[in-house]
Structure 1
Amino acid sequence: MAADQTFTPPRSTRSIPLTFCAGAAIGVLGGMIGLGGAEFRLPLLIGLFGFAALSAVILNKAMSLVVVLTALPARMAAVSAADLAAHWPVAVNLLAGSLLGAWAGASWVVRMRSDTLYRVLAGLMVLMAAALLFTHFATLDALGLVPWAQVALGAAAGFGIGVVAAVMGVAGGELLIPTIVLLFGQDIKTAGSLSLLVSLPTMLVAFARYSRDGSFAVLGANRRFALVMVAGSVAGAVLGGLLLGVFPDVVLIPALSVVLLVSAVKLARHE
């Protein structure tokens, strides 16, 4: 682990009002597009609050985990547990790959050089921008694969998503939802709920792997910061849900994709 991976920013950049407002802004964005917003939180943790890459990823993972736990009850109100139980093979298929991917991804990150991690995160930001555009504007129809191909591709996709989620500290809904629709033919509403069920254990595995590394201490050192930002994210997500549909997707999604691409450029140039 490189020494600069655990840099803690000065307290002046971590005031409670600024931290809460940043979390709220992320929550609003996530709420308006129906996702957690962790992909927008990561560049803020690095660019605005001054955390080094690995510390930012671990903080992002911890906050994403809390946001997912908060979102689950709301999703259960939209899609009942009984309805989800009928689709348990989908979740199991994806988890067969995502749990391994999460452990592998987290193991990879803690051994990675800091400058390499910044470049990897930049590349994944571009991937997230593409996924955001694809999910909202492409026609998502089931591929109609034979069962054995469906199972094999589901496990492979799960592994890749697990790696990405662990490396970025996100829940992975941006990738899970279109995967569930394309491979398993589920509607967007059901896919959103299933993605949370897959995300939660996947995130716990990555979290467990990160807990074995010395840089995990960043959580204890920045506990108040993380709690304030999570509170802002939850409050912002509620507001974002109320604003759903106020801004047309044809304007909002490209704008947010540009934000991700700009963030990718800044991460790639980060020293």
Structure 2
Amino acid sequence: MTTESAVAAPRSLHSIPLVFGAGAGIGVLGGMIGLGGAEFRLPLLIGLFGLAALSAVILNKAMSLVVVLVALPARLAAVSASQVAAQWPVVVNLLAGSLLGAWAGASWAVRMRSATLYKVLAALMVLMAAALLATHTSTAGALDLARWAQIPAGVVAGFGIGVVAAIMGVAGGELLIPTIVLLFAVDIKTAGSLSLLVSLPTMLVAFARYSRDGSFAVLGANWRFAAVMAAGSVAGAVGGGLLLGVFPNLVLIPALALILLVSAVKLARHG
């Protein structure tokens, strides 16, 4: 288990406008590309607010859960229930792996040395940058796998995504959406809704595992901070959604990927 204090209060906690504004800025970034923005929030929690790695991951997971709960009804309203229901085997297939992955990822995170966790988070930030570029710039079609290969591939992919989501404290949409499109030939709009249905129970499993560790106390100690930033994230995501299409993807996506890469370098050097 990491030796860092799990309940240390973040810096600038007294500045509610700063916390809300930081959450809103992250929400805008995520909203402009149709995601929650948790991958951008994590380095901010560590770099700006001075939280230790594991504490930042747990708070990030809590805020991601709030954003997904708010986004789910709106997303389901945008895609008909019949469209989503028709794809229930996809959700079950991915959950078969992601629930196990979330438990395993959270277990590994609480046992890692702090220095190791920072490096793992940095590597995963690079993975997120690559996934962001691939999702929004690639024109690759579905893999068209046979059913006997598709199901185990979905379980393996779900497990990997569950691990990443648990360790970073994110919902995992950055990885789930391209996986659903590539493995199951689902259109990207429907894939966005399906990803939320996979993310929610996956995050709850990670939360259940984190709750068994003393580090989970960070959530109770900093619940006001988390609530204010989560509110900012939701507000920002709504605003970012309204800005969807204002900035061309050829400019926006590389810029966001660069932010992730710079954050990865800083995390790797942290501590």
Q: Is this a same-fold pair by TM over 0.5?
A: yes
Alignment of 1:15-164 (within 5 A): 15-164=15-164
TM superposition score normalised by structure 2: 0.98
Name which of structure 1's ranges 13-22 and 94-103 shifts more when overlaid on structure 2: 13-22
Runs of 4+ aligned residues of structure 1 deviating over 4 Å after TM superposition are none
**Is the Cα–Cα contact under 8 Å of residues 14 and 49 in structure 1 kept in the other structure?**
no
TM superposition score normalised by structure 1: 0.98
Residue 10 of structure 1 deviates from its aligned partner by: 5.4
Residue 3 of structure 1 deviates from its aligned partner by: 2.5
Q: Corresponding residue for 1:230?
A: 230
The percentage of counterpart residues that share the same residue type is 81
- Opposite residue 59 of structure 1, the aligned amino acid is L
Residue 14 of structure 1 deviates from its aligned partner by: 4.6
User: Any idea what the Cα deviations from partners look like across 1:75-94, whole Å, max 9, x if unmatched?
Assistant: 11111222111110000000
SS in 2 for 1:51: coil
Unaligned runs of 5+ in 1: none
- CA distance in structure 1 between the aligned counterparts of 2:73 and 2:84, rounded to whole angstroms: 13
- CA distance in structure 1 between the aligned counterparts of 2:230 and 2:2, rounded to whole angstroms: 28
SS in 2 for 1:246: coil
SS in 2 for 1:4: coil
Residue 11 of structure 1 deviates from its aligned partner by: 5.1
**Is the Cα–Cα contact under 8 Å of residues 140 and 181 in structure 1 kept in the other structure?**
no
Q: Corresponding residue for 1:265?
A: 265
Unaligned runs of 5+ in 2: none
RMSD (Å), alpha carbons? 1.0
- CA distance in structure 2 between the aligned counterparts of 1:183 and 1:120, rounded to whole angstroms: 26
- Opposite residue 234 of structure 1, the aligned amino acid is V
**Is the Cα–Cα contact under 8 Å of residues 126 and 264 in structure 2 kept in the other structure?**
yes
Alignment of 1:136-215 (within 5 A): 136-215=136-215
Name which of structure 1's ranges 222-231 and 80-89 shifts more when overlaid on structure 2: 80-89
SS in 1 for 2:4: helix
Residue 105 of structure 1 deviates from its aligned partner by: 0.3
- CA distance in structure 2 between the aligned counterparts of 1:269 and 1:68, rounded to whole angstroms: 31
